[in-house]
Amino acid sequence: MDTVQKAMAGFSLDLGPLKEPLGFIRVLEWVFSIFAFATIGGYTGTTHLTVSCPDGDKPVEAFFAYPFRLAMKPYCLPPSCNGSCTETYLQGDFSSSAQFFVCVGVFAFLYCTATLIVYLGYRSVYLQTSRGPVIDLLLTAAFAFLWLVSSSAWGKGLTDVKYATDPNRLVQLCTSCKAGEFPSMGRLNASVIFGFLNLILWAGNCWFIYKETPFHKVPAPPTTMQEGGAPGP
């Protein structure tokens, strides 16, 4: 209880840092990290096939969803024209790259939330010693690296998901089938874009945090001779 009271006693809301690059970019990181993991989490897709029958085409639908363990749910391929079907599974497990990407996004969001509270409420404490900016710089650089790795891994994983769910490839398993509608993956494409935008934001923000650290030395202005003065020896 005493710790909470001390923390609240030191809190002083100041929106000034939001007008500076350090705070403004942190808000952008907070927003784009939400977009990154929200566009992939909860995704569901369907790939479509049709089977030619004398009385018309019969649809076949194969469902898949985040975290993209495609073999979890069977679909009927091909259903014969009398109504019977054979259970078939999509192939591939791309959950590791997808979950890693979401994990980075969630932790980045939490870190942005924490640092924004520090920037806006405990600015004096943050700048009181060099420890705060240095730790902030190291963690921001680490997140920039994680965004690079996770976005690249998920971009490759998304390419594999598209290949595994491509109806033009799946019809090769069924002689009487025709390719139908390709799964809508606009959200997943956007997630990769948001991932690399986060990389740019976090890497760029390292410079503004670096300027708050003691590693960034502002050069002293050159001394000028006073009027009538003679230069020193």
pLDDT tens for residues 195-222?
999 999 999 999 999 988 887 655 555 5
pLDDT of residue 130: 81
Q: Which of 23-32, 56-65, 110-119, 215-224 has the lowest mean pLDDT?
A: 215-224
Please, what is the Cα angle at 139 between 130 and 116, to 5 degrees? 75
The tens digit of pLDDT for each residue in 70-114 reads: 988 888 766 566 666 778 888 999 999 999 999 999 999 999 999
The pair phi, psi for residue 216, each rounded to 5°, is -95, 105
User: Which ranges of 39-94 would DSSP assign to H, the alpha helix?
Assistant: none
| Side-chain half-sphere exposure of 201, counting CA atoms within 13 A | 23
pLDDT of residue 88: 84
Q: Is the peptide bond before 222 cis (omega within 30 degrees of 0)?
A: no
